Amino acid sequence: MPVRTSSAAKPLETADRLAQAFGCLSEQDLVRLKRLAQLRSFGLIALDWQDLLQESIVRVLAGSRHWPADVPLMAFLAQTMRSIANEEWASPARQRMTNESDFGIRTAQSSDSEVTINDIAVEEVDPERLILARNSIAHIETIFKDDAEALAILRGFAQGNSPDEIRQEASLTLTNYESAQKRIRRKIAQHLQK
């Protein structure tokens, strides 16, 4: 095992390891990375799948993401892409929701003399995001029009229901629920390849 004399050697060592590991990837591995990036980037505004994959590689090369020696490259890049996508979803631009408690205001059941959240609510709707959302929903419903279980799961997630609530509302067994989730992942992956 080489002895590190300074932290400056680390990015170079990682770059060499990354270059060697990429050289060992098969065509099938590269297709899998592309699919993973497409799945993780679905619905993101600032990143497409190429940007997401590139950003994960850049972070490894820059040393901002440490690649443990015992973790396979595919698994590490998949986790890195997931982390970057989660950062994008959690970015301040996406967090425009405000709770009533943030204002110290009572709810609509308050007395008439008190201000309610509905009195001060300002709805910021980005037309581009609204169109994207409507088109995405229409496309998803078209993809799963012949799969009632998958649609029930997707609608449940859209409403913020837990898996148990979805299973109960759709009368799904655990096996049916898990099978439908696999069908959802496969169909979305197939449509992203087109």
Q: What is the domain partition of the chain in residue ranges?
A: 9-89, 125-193
**Residue whose C-alpha is closest to residue 65's, from 14, 25, 29:** 14
Kindly compute the dihedral angle of the four CA atoms of residues 45, 49, 54, 55, in this order, to the nearest 10 degrees. 30
pTM assigned to the model:
0.47
Residue 114 DSSP code: S
Q: What is the pLDDT at residue 5?
A: 40
Q: What is the pLDDT at residue 106?
A: 46
Q: What is the pLDDT at residue 92?
A: 55
Q: What is the pLDDT at residue 149?
A: 92
Q: Which residues pair with 106 in a beta bridge?
A: 116
d(CA 12, CA 97): 43
d(CA 111, CA 138): 41
Q: What is the pLDDT at residue 127?
A: 73
Sign of CA dihedral 161, 166, 170, 171: negative
Q: What is the pLDDT at residue 87?
A: 85
**What digits encode the pLDDT tens for the residues 33-72?**
888 888 888 877 778 889 888 898 888 877 788 888 888 8
Q: What is the pLDDT at residue 6?
A: 41
Q: What is the pLDDT at residue 172?
A: 92
Note the helical H segments in the chain.
Answer: 9-23, 27-41, 49-62, 73-89, 100-103, 117-120, 127-143, 148-158, 163-170, 174-193
Q: pLDDT below 50 — which residues of the chain?
A: 1-9, 94-110, 117, 120-121
Q: What is the pLDDT at residue 139?
A: 82
- DSSP output for 122-165: -----HHHHHHHHHHHHHHHHHTTT-HHHHHHHHHHHTT--HHH
Two tokens, residue 47 = 């990143």
Q: What is the pLDDT at residue 91?
A: 66
